[in-house]
């Protein structure tokens, strides 16, 4: 028996890093996974690995900032597997850590679009499908229809460890996910947030033109106070818990996963 048996999950940003590990683990635990990312070939490689190991997963190449792509992922989940139970908003984009006076409109808008508008579009598309799910018999009437897990950042809780666009987007998406938690609590949908510290992924590799001053300011404290970097597998384990029925009473929570960094 898997912890997500008979569940259908969408995972965004699933072609690498945390999204890839979340997709792998969810499938291993019995979920049927719809994985969405922009890098089609790399995403298909993740799906092929999951299916070789006996899991259920399909790829949807798409951009989380495009409403039609989000709607396609939700529609694919329902048409292929019959329903939708779980969404992991994981896709993310960093800025170049330039201070506000040197940050371009393009950089700011791109980061906000991926990190904040993307989850908004997914919430809006997925919630109507979750509301169609029957009540979970394990819980009081009206509960257990669906669960969201949004991967934010410790940068959404503090102002001193990331660039301005990334910091603003992660503060914003934490507020958005909490609002969803409260708005839909009595309708059976949960929404929780993971706030990782430093995690060893390749997300930073997509950014060019790093601002030397901003990097020095943002990483100087981190080098001193960050106990260690996490792994994508560690974040996946937390996402599994928050997506599963084991966390049935947890709603609107922001769970830090930073080895104690935020305690500094």
Active site residues: 166
> How many CB atoms neighbour CB 166 within 10 A?
26
Residue 106 sits at the vertex; the CA angle it makes with 214 and 69, to the nearest 5 degrees, is 120
Ordered DSSP codes for 85-132: -EEEE----------GGG--HHHHHHHHIIIIIHHHHHHHHHHHHHTT
- Tell me if 66 sits within 8 A of 17, measured CB to CB: no
Q: In what side-by-side order are the strands of the sheet with 56-61?
A: 56-61, 32-37, 8-12, 86-89, 146-151, 189-196, 254-257
81: tokens are 């597997």
């Amino acid at each position: 028996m898997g912890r997500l048996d008979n569940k259908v999950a969408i995972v965004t940003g699933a072609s690498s890093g945390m999204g890839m590990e979340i997709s792998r683990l969810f499938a291993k635990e019995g979920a049927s996974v719809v994985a969405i990312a922009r890098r089609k070939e790399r995403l298909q490689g993740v799906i092929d690995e999951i299916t070789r190991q006996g899991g259920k997963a399909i790829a949807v190449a798409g951009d989380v900032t495009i409403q039609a792509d989000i709607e396609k992922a939700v529609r694919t989940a329902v048409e292929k597997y019959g329903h939708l139970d779980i969404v992991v908003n994981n896709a993310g984009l960093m800025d170049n850590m330039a201070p506000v006076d040197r940050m371009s409109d393009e950089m700011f808008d791109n980061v906000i679009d991926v990190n904040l508008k993307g989850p908004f579009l997914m919430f809006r598309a997925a919630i109507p499908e979750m509301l169609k799910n029957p009540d979970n018999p394990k819980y009081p009437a009206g509960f257990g229809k669906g669960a969201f897990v949004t991967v934010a950042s410790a940068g959404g809780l503090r102002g001193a460890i990331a660039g301005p666009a990334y910091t603003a987007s992660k503060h914003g998406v934490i507020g958005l996910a909490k609002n969803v938690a409260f708005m839909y609590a009595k309708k059976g949908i949960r929404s929780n947030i993971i706030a990782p510290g430093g995690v060893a992924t390749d997300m930073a590799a997509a950014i060019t033109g790093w601002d030397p001053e901003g990097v020095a300011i943002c990483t100087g404290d981190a080098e001193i106070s960050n106990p260690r970097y996490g792994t994508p597998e560690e974040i996946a384990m937390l996402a599994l818990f928050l997506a599963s029925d084991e966390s049935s009473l947890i709603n609107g929570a922001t769970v830090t996963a930073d080895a104690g960094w935020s305690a500094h």
